[in-house]
Amino acid sequence: MNGLTSRFRVSPRGFASPLVRFGVPFLALIVALIIGGLILAMAGNNPFEAYRTMFDTSLNGWSAMTRTLALATPLILTGLAAAVAFQMRVYNIGGEGQLYIGAIAGSWAGLALPPATPAVIMLSAMLVCGAIGGALWALLAAIPKAYLNADEIITTLMLNFVALSLMNYLIFGSQSFWRDPKRTVPGGKRLPDAAIMPSLSGRLHIGIIIAVVAAVLLWWLLRKTSWGFQIRTIGDSPSAARYAGMSVRFKTLAVLAVSGGLAAIAGVSEVSGVTKGLEPRSLATDIGFTGIIIAVVARSNPLGVVPVSIFLAAIATSGSTLQSIGIAVEVVFLLQGLIFLTVTAGEFFVMNRLEFVSPEPSGDSIPGDTTDLPAGAT
Amino acid sequence: MNRQRLSTSRLLASLLFVLALVAAACGGSDPADESAEETTDDAATAEESGEDFSDFKVVMILDGSAEDGGWNTTHLRSGLKMEANFPGIDFSYVEEIEPGQPATNAFQDAVDAGADLVIGTTFYQFDMIDVAAENPDTYFLTWAGFEDQPNVGHFTQATEDGRYMDGIVAGSLTESNIIGYPVGFPFEEVNRALNAFTLGAKEVNPDVEVRAVYLNTWFDPAIEQQAAEALANAGADVIAHEVGSQVYATVMAERGGYVIGYTNDWSDFEPEAWASSFLIDWSTYYIQQVEAIIAGEFEPGISYGGLAEGWIEFAPYGPAVTDETLALIDERKQGIIDGTFDMFEGPIYDNQGNLVIAEGETIDFADRNACCQWLVEGIVGEIPSS
């Protein structure tokens, strides 16, 4: 890991000037596009046509923007879910499962209430039901963590599989309340119109507003309230926080409940705004896991989660158009991964300074704690 | 078929996400392999028969890799056959499109690119139905849908026509009279195929016992490996399956048993263990639909096709299958095509001892899609929790 320290020295920047703050990601993007261009050329494709297509599909014009934003909506919410937990150094890897539970609980409310219920009440009930479901699901991991110090990485991760099995059971394995009995290939009952999130434009629905409001609220909660201060203090040093009289145990429960609730709202947003019924295949598309990546890249800052999600969605949304101009799907995935990886790797140079040093005695080793990234992320 | 993307790799990916990104970047960096892939455009070396279909554009949307060796490969093969049938037709495909938002976008992209017909190879109905409503001049076909719309067609295959023949093969090959049958999820189409398979096996071997195991996954080699070994340890010397991986062939080859595939010709994989597999050919349907659209006679609604419709085919049979068995299979195939043989002719009892189809009754071909929430006598296993 530290094989390079003999030649290079990495030291944290105290303050990143605007030039560094915005210049480095921009340079990283250029580097990614050049490398990607070489790969495209090697694969026999025209890089300029490819980038033009990517831009046209994702960002060029309002209709392209709406599809990027629609794809970003659940990612923002699962990104926030991971971010709030990471702020306290609680590693909730269970966003995926909490999203399923949110979709199950939210669609339950949508199907159980009379179809004539006004949309405002219907959607509110779905959001509340979903969030409570996700929070309770997260507490299954939070309680053992708080009282028995059980590793939440393992428990939240494993609960994803339980949640997936539960969702599959409800649709494929039983004649449950959610399953449409008229369908021979199992699928969920359609939600009534009042339970479907109204469209803002094209496929973009009001879930995006919920997601952005949630981001601002969470930022305010973490930065401007004493609750948030305590969360961050516990994240920095649990023993110091305990010494100062903070209840780490209660905060663990609260933070995981909030985290689970946010991921569950992503599930409600998907089930109500996109799939319009409990459809396991359309819901199990790694939105929760992607949220973890987003939170890490956004350095757990709720306001950073929004642009990172949109950036990731913009890269991802051009998959089918890139294929349709003759680029092999493997090259498409490679290109998407490359751009995201390079730009996010560039963040390292925003936070840190890299210097050449002459091979000298190893007295001045570098402290490892240079970033906010969770352990294992680098 | 609905394959769930849940595997241990996801577990790893979630822990080592950054590594996974790097791995993806490195794993794909051999573009030399892929250069041969997009050759579909020149596949139609049009036999210049006068007609030219170059103003007709078909886009196929695949939920997995076109090279999955199974479901999507079958669709692409059928699409290429369709392409060859219409000189000059503009046929292309996009792959790895997950249901949900990515699928909706892909359908929209196909329309924007000027497609006359868009074919979805899995249950994409709800992802495309709004796109179809907004674009009435484009035609859409999806697998196993049901919602009516003037420009939408649905298609489902009569798996049971193929499965009955596989059952005959299994019943004639087994010496232990125990056949293993790992399946995915317990719903009608799956149960119907399992029932047809068992009826076929029992025709040639009334003592046979089919052990069904529901795995609740479409593809998970680790779980499938366990199931295969457990079944082999329980005495199964033939394994049929409808889950995705090739572990059954490996396990049966080790134990000297036989494997029956599912819509795949894997006769080269473990040739000694290979017995049979039915295949699906969608090209008959695709060609009919393209012709109907061009003639202005497109009929929306669901199409259900089996042997008689030319949708069901068979992979080469393995070396252990006797001529006698092959003769019986030919007879049964002909019987189904002529309408003289009906595998669901009563009396048929379920494995709880209830009479499910009375003497002289059957399940009409058109109604089969709604069958079965029962398992036929001879199957050891239960439909979980229905």
pLDDT tens digits for B210-267?
Answer: 999 988 877 788 888 999 999 999 999 999 988 767 889 999 999 999 999 988 888 9
Residue A301 has pLDDT above 70, yes or no: yes
Q: Confirm whether B237 is domain-assigned.
A: yes
Residue from B9, B11, B14 to probe the interface with A (highest A Cβ count within 10 Å): B14
Residue B13 has pLDDT above 70, yes or no: no
* Residues B222, B12 contacting (CB under 8 angstroms): no
> What is the predicted pLDDT for the residue at A349?
83
Query: Are residues B122 and B169 both part of a single domain?
Result: no
Q: Confirm whether B21 is domain-assigned.
A: no
Q: What's the mean pLDDT in B162-178?
A: 96
A119-149 per-position pLDDT tens digit: 999 999 999 999 999 999 999 999 999 999 9
Cα(B92)–Cα(B96) distance, integer angstroms: 14
Residue B19 has pLDDT above 50, yes or no: no
Query: Are residues B290 and B227 both part of a single domain?
Result: no
Q: Which residue of A has its CA nearest to B372?
A: A184
Q: What's the mean pLDDT in A282-306?
A: 93
Q: Confirm whether B112 is domain-assigned.
A: yes
Q: Confirm whether B289 is domain-assigned.
A: yes
Closest Cα in chain B, distance from residue A323 (Å): 6
Query: Are residues B172 and B204 both part of a single domain?
Result: yes
Answer whether B7 touches A (CB < 8 Å). Answer: no
Q: Which domain holds residue B60?
A: 51-157+281-305
Cα(B189)–Cα(B202) distance, integer angstroms: 20
Looking at chain A, the whole-number percentage of residues with pLDDT higher than 70 is 93
Residue A246 has pLDDT above 50, yes or no: yes
When divided into structural domains, chain B yields a total of 2
| CATH assignment at residue B80 | 3.40.50.2300
Closest Cα in chain A, distance from residue B115 (Å): 11
Q: What's the mean pLDDT in B359-382?
A: 88
Q: Confirm whether B97 is domain-assigned.
A: yes
Q: Confirm whether B42 is domain-assigned.
A: no
Looking at chain B, the whole-number percentage of residues with pLDDT higher than 70 is 86
pLDDT grade for B11, boundaries at 50, 70 and 90: very low
Query: Are residues B77 and B169 both part of a single domain?
Result: no
> A243-262 burial by CB neighbour count: b if 16+ within 10 A, else e?
eeebebeebbbbbbbbbbbb
Query: Are residues B215 and B146 both part of a single domain?
Result: no
Query: Are residues B239 and B266 both part of a single domain?
Result: yes
Task: State the CB neighbour count (10 A cutoff) for residue B386.
Answer: 12
Q: What is the DSSP string of A241-279?
A: HHHTT--HHHHHHHHHHHHHHHHHHHHHHHIIIIISS--
> What is the predicted pLDDT for the residue at A224?
94
Using a CB-CB distance cutoff of 8 angstroms, which residues of chain A are in contact with residue B25?
A: 334, 337-338, 341
> What is the predicted pLDDT for the residue at B17?
41
* Residues A371, A31 contacting (CB under 8 angstroms): no
Q: What is the ipTM of this complex?
A: 0.84
Query: Are residues B124 and B191 both part of a single domain?
Result: no
> What is the predicted pLDDT for the residue at B386?
45
> What is the predicted pLDDT for the residue at A98?
98
pLDDT grade for B383, boundaries at 50, 70 and 90: confident
Query: Are residues B107 and B223 both part of a single domain?
Result: no
Q: What's the mean pLDDT in A162-185?
A: 88
Q: What's the mean pLDDT in B339-356?
A: 93
Q: What's the mean pLDDT in A74-81?
A: 98
Query: Are residues B144 and B115 both part of a single domain?
Result: yes
| Lowest mean per-residue pLDDT among B29-43, B64-78, B165-179, B190-204 | B29-43
Answer whether B4 touches A (CB < 8 Å). Answer: yes
Contact B126 A276 (CB under 8 A): yes
Query: Are residues B203 and B296 both part of a single domain?
Result: no
> What is the predicted pLDDT for the residue at A346?
84
> What is the predicted pLDDT for the residue at A361?
54
Closest Cα in chain B, distance from residue A33 (Å): 14
Using a CB-CB distance cutoff of 8 angstroms, which residues of chain A are in contact with residue B17?
A: 289, 292-293, 296, 377
Which among A74, A280, A164, A276 is positioned nearest to B98, based on CA atoms? A280
Query: Are residues B88 and B114 both part of a single domain?
Result: yes
